[in-house]
Amino acid sequence: MLYLDNRPLNPSRRHAANGPDRFYQWRGFFDDNSELDDIVQVIEKEFTEKGSSDHTDRYFLLPGRSNTITTLCDNETLEVHTMVSAEGALEKWERSVKTTFPMKRTTASIIGTYVPKFRGSCSSVADAESLTDALSKKSRYYEANLNRRQYERNSVSVEIETVDVNGKQKISIALRGENPQALMGEVEALGLKASENTHFGNFLNDL
C-alpha cells in the first residue's frame, strides 16, 4: 500500500495525487553514441514532450537489497521504491512511501517497516541533512545530478535522463506504465532489448 505522509491512499484509485501505486518499468543505461542518438530522435519526434527539469537525488542502498531503493529527491521528498516482481522483460515496482519534511512520526515508523535497518534514523525531527548523515552511515550512499526530459505516448511515460554520479556520466532511458502490454509495445517499437533492462539500484551497485 502507498502511504503519503502517514495516510494510506485509497487503493481503488488508479491514480493517486503523486502517481500510481504500482507500475511496470523498463530502464537502461547507455553511453552517449550514435545508436542511442537514433532512439532519442524517435522519442523526440514521435512522443509528446511533457517537460524538462534538473535534480539532485541521493540514494541509500543496503547490501543485497538493491531492489529496495530509498531516495531523497532535491532535499525535499523522501521516497521508498520496492521491486515487486520481474515479469519477462519488465519489472513491476511499488512506490511504498513518499513524504516531505518534517515527516510525521507514523510515517517514520512505516519507513522502518519497509527498510528495517533505517528504523530509528527516520524521525519527526529529522531534516534532509540530518537524515542524509544518518542513513549514509547505514547504507551505500550515492549522490546523482540528473537532467530529466519527460515524454508520453499511448499512456506510457518516457524519461531521458543525463545521469552524473561519482564522476561518471550515463544516459538513462526509462519507460513506465500501468499496462504491461502497452509498455512492452513501446519497448519493442524503440528497439530496446530485454537484456539491457536494469534498475537504478543495480546500476549504482555496479559503479
Q: What CA–CA distance (Å, rounded) separates 90 from 34?
A: 25
Q: Which three cell numbers stand for residue 190?
A: 524503440
Average pLDDT estimate for 31-35? 82
Average pLDDT estimate for 26-38? 90
Q: Is the pLDDT of residue 17 over 50?
A: no
Do residues 84 and 94 touch, judged by C-beta distance below 8 A? yes
Q: Is the pLDDT of residue 10 over 60?
A: no
Amino acid at 44: E
- Grid cell 515496482 in the structure block, residue: 93
Do residues 92 and 108 touch, judged by C-beta distance below 8 A? no
Q: Is the pLDDT of residue 154 over 60?
A: yes
Give the total number of structural domains in the chain. 1
pLDDT tens track for 103-152 = 999 999 999 999 999 998 998 889 999 999 999 999 999 999 999 999 99
The band of 11, judged by pLDDT with boundaries at 50, 70 and 90, is: very low
Beta carbons within 10 angstroms of residue 14's beta carbon: 8
Name the residue among 101, 76, 110 with its Cα closest to residue 6: 110
Q: Which residues pair with 92 in a beta bridge?
A: 24, 85
Q: What CA–CA distance (Å, rounded) separates 1 from 63?
A: 24
Q: Is the pLDDT of residue 15 over 60?
A: no
Quote the domain boundaries for residue 176. Answer: 3-12+21-205
Preceding omega of 102 cis (within 30 degrees of 0):
yes
Q: How high is the mean pLDDT of the chain? A: 89
200: domain CATH number? 2.40.320.10
If you count them, how many residues does the chain have? 207
The band of 3, judged by pLDDT with boundaries at 50, 70 and 90, is: very low
Q: Is the pLDDT of residue 1 over 70?
A: no
